[in-house]
A and B are shown apart, each in its own frame.
Chain A
């Protein structure tokens, strides 16, 4: 199991949720995981129903079996100062840089440097060991930028290593790329059974592979349960037994079956809804085939009808464990 697991996906597919569930799943059985947020949205705090996370590794959940999930919301500006302090002993100069607006420049204006800091800080946590030589975290899970940006985001250090051909930044960038391209890393993509997210997943995998970044799993999120099977759908679409349906509805206690009766008036809208369901069902089957054709481990997570809360998150983690991701 890769120690560093990156979770990306098209916007709206629930990648933060899947990343959090994965961190929980990996922590089960006494393990320790770190869940990293890089987009400053405080989505993790919202999911775990805690106060906004500071720039500090902090325990946010206990997994079944005594495991622990820590979380870290990386603030690029503080990460940069951290770096300057830790690696380059630039304490005073760091403050001077800040006064000059250099920190602001580095983290917001100079595009790319922000990504360097975010990946760099995360990889540091992946590699960190305690005094006994054990890894500080068994697994690190990153709630990463969306599919459209993920390859560039993870590849930023390669670009930097090419730009800065010598010096500490060069070495740092190379070390990060080594971690990212190693077997220690897996990039998972979250999708829905809809055309655009699936297309983005397919494109994203092509890009990741071209950049020699290790693709992990495809996680299909918010899968709805099957309510009507194919035989039933065919029947209602081709030869809907309208009168019989009205009688059946009436027998179930929903009013009269005659024209204008309570049950009879339900037939048309219910058949319409079935038609919409059939269309979606066909579309989803097609998309499921596209994803299956990718030849990657495929996981399906159910749609949680009540909206997602902490209990739902634990349920998803359990499902992921059952499906063998941890």
Chain B
């Protein structure tokens, strides 16, 4: 990566703008799924979209999977749980509800709803079930799908915004129904269920040799008691499995239906955009409707006309002037940053830190305070800061161009970076405005 001399030029193939407001306002949009790799602001994006849709008059529920406590608080809710809670202080006619997926609760509810009392108790008390439902890798994906299906079938909201689990690959979410299906179609479940179901010697007649070898092997591997737990569990769940599967298939189809829109969330960084490209390809392969890419934390500069190189050269000029006039060393620079890789140093300046006590052309007439840095020092610092910003811009532009070249059809909305985190509804509103901004420009005549 070198220092780019000029400001990043606009692309010829600028990606189409994603009209967020049009998407949120369309009564046909019933589900918005936010997916993307970890740490790109997926959950915050989901919350901001939900808030914006609500304040534009829709009745919205946001299903988050693993939100930071702070995000719940920013919506005025102390603790999010498995039941949608209405978010107070929403402007306008719409409503915003928010909830957080509780895997165990969701699983328990399914059991309670689909099995009679005695059977439900047998399942809920089964040790294998208890471990399974407490949320090993994988359970979250099934339960997120289940919850989404539940929310949709209640017809209480006209828009559901879903955040996806922070799993190995967020698209495990999509694989959940298929895996469940292939498991339920498989012979394994019959093997597991056979002994518990038929039991005794009479049952053995129905098992072929291979199968009895199998249960033998499983018993050896798992230990007899665990195998019995698993078998009891599978037998008890037997009647419910069909329902699971039907619902999972239905949810999968729901995701493919026209009322659903997927948004891939990313930041303009190499790894995040690489994952985003993967999501885009996977969604296409699964016939899932992609609405576009949300690019969070994009940086801008009001002084883009000044290139990084010129800014650094100018900063160096000022610093050198300061060294000549060096008087004393009272300005104490606490150089705590690990500057070994600072772009300023790489740019070839031997002394990237302005010398202490520098004086210069502009200090006299401004009555610069006797203590503290001189104006030239400050100017040099501002210029270095700007150079850093321009380099960041150039890198971001480069990764975005790469994505746009590979996926020119994907509509994009860019969200300018905020210096801090979101703490309240106003913060979410600001993000919502930024989300909608690029599409609005496009729509204007």
In the complex, which of the residues B139, B333, B369, B382 has the most CB atoms of chain A within 10 Å of its own CB atom?
A: B382
- Contact A302 B338, beta carbon cutoff 8 Å: yes
Report the bound CA distance from A149 to B65 in whole Å.
13
Instruction: Report the bound CA distance from A101 to B218 in whole Å.
Output: 13
Residues of A within 8 A of B (CB): 10-13, 39-41, 84, 88, 90, 93, 96-97, 100-102, 104-105, 108-112, 114-115, 145-146, 148-149, 152-153, 156, 159, 162-170, 194-197, 199-200, 223-232, 234-236, 241, 243-245, 247-249, 251-254, 265-266, 268-274, 276-277, 279-280, 283, 300-307, 312, 315, 319
B445 within 8 Å of A by Cβ? no
Q: Is B365 an interface residue (CB 8 A)?
A: yes
Contact indicator A236/B168 (Cβ below 8 Å):
no
Please, which residues of chain A bring their CB within 8 A of the CB of B338? 223, 225, 300-302, 319
Q: Which residues of A contact B139 (CB under 8 A)?
A: 111
Pairwise interchain contact A199-B168, C-beta atoms closer than 8 A: no
Spell out B's residues near A (CB within 8 Å). Answer: 1, 37-40, 66, 68-70, 127-128, 131-132, 135-139, 166, 168-169, 175, 179-180, 182-183, 186-188, 191, 210, 213-214, 217-218, 220-226, 229, 267, 270, 272, 301-303, 306, 310, 313-315, 317-318, 321, 331, 333-344, 346, 360-363, 365-366, 368-369, 371-373, 375-379, 381-386, 388-389, 391, 395, 419-421
Check A252–B383 contact: CB distance below 8 A: yes
Q: A11-B39, A241-B375, A245-B362 are in contact. Are A109 and B138 (CB under 8 A)?
A: yes
**In the complex, A311→B383 CA distance in Å?**
28
CB nearest to A270 among chain B residues = B382
- Tell whether, in the assembled complex, residue B382 and residue A236 are in contact, meaning their CB atoms are under 8 Å apart: yes
Give min CB distance, B386 to chain A, whole Å. 6
CA–CA, A100 and B186, complex, Å: 7
Which one, B217, B315, B360, B377, contacts A90 given CB within 8 A? B217
For A100, the chain B residues whose CB sits under 8 A away are 186-188, 191, 214
| B362, A247: Cβ atoms closer than 8 Å | yes
A88 to B46, CA, bound (A): 47
A244–B39 touching, CB < 8 Å: no
Task: A226 to B395: give the CA distance in the assembly, Å.
Answer: 20
What is the bound-complex CA distance between A234 and B318, given in angstroms? 20
Minimal Cβ-Cβ distance residue in A for B226: A164
Nearest B residue to A16 by beta-carbon distance?
Answer: B271
- Is B214 a contact of A96 with CB atoms below 8 Å? yes
Look across to chain A and name the residue whose beta carbon is closest to the beta carbon of B331. A231
CA distance A83 to B129 in the complex (A): 25
| B37 closest partner in A (C-beta) | A11
Closest chain A residue to B229, Cβ basis: A163
| Complex CA–CA separation, A269 to B270 (angstroms) | 27
A97 vs B192: C-alpha distance when bound (angstroms)? 12
A110 to B213, CA, bound (A): 21
Give the chain A neighbours of B267 by CB distance below 8 A. 12
Q: Which residue on A lies nearest to B321, using beta carbons?
A: A251
Whether the Cβ atoms of B39 and A231 lie closer than 8 Å is: no
Inter-subunit contact B166/A226 (CB<8 Å): no
Given A93-B213, A248-B318, 9 new contacts (CB under 8 A): A11-B39, A96-B210, A100-B214, A101-B182, A109-B180, A112-B131, A148-B66, A163-B127, A305-B343
B341 touches A304 (CB 8 A): yes
Question: Quick check: B137 and A115 within 8 Å, CB to CB?
Answer: yes
Q: How far is the CA of A247 from the CA of B362 in the complex (A)?
A: 6
The residues of B that contact A319 with a CB separation of less than 8 Å are: 338, 340
How far apart sit A159 and B132, CA to CA, in the bound complex (Å)?
10
Q: Is the CB of A232 within 8 A of B419?
A: no
Nearest CB of chain A from residue B221's CB, rounded to whole Å: 6
Complex Cα–Cα for A228 and B346 (A)? 18
The reply to whether A251 and B318 contact each other, CB–CB distance below 8 Å, is yes
Identify which of B188, B335, B378 gathers the most chain A CB atoms within 10 Å of its CB.
B378
Interface-central residue, B179, B314, B379, by most chain A CB under 10 Å: B379
B402 to chain A, nearest CB (A): 12
Contacts A167-B226, A271-B382; is A252 near B188 (CB within 8 Å)? no
Determine if A195 and B70 form an interchain contact, defined as CB atoms under 8 angstroms apart: yes
In-complex Cβ contact of B382 among A114, A245, A301 (8 A): A245
Cα distance, A224 to B303, chains bound together (Å) = 21
Also in contact, A226 and B186, with CB within 8 A (given A168-B221, A245-B379, A247-B361): no
Please measure, in the bound complex, the distance between the C-alpha atom of A153 and the C-alpha atom of B136, giving whole angstroms: 8
9 A-B contact pairs sorted by A residue (CB < 8 Å): A41-B169, A101-B188, A104-B179, A227-B384, A229-B333, A232-B373, A234-B372, A235-B373, A266-B306
Which of B210, B365, B386 contacts A273, CB < 8 Å?
B386
Most buried by A among B1, B222, B321, B369: B222
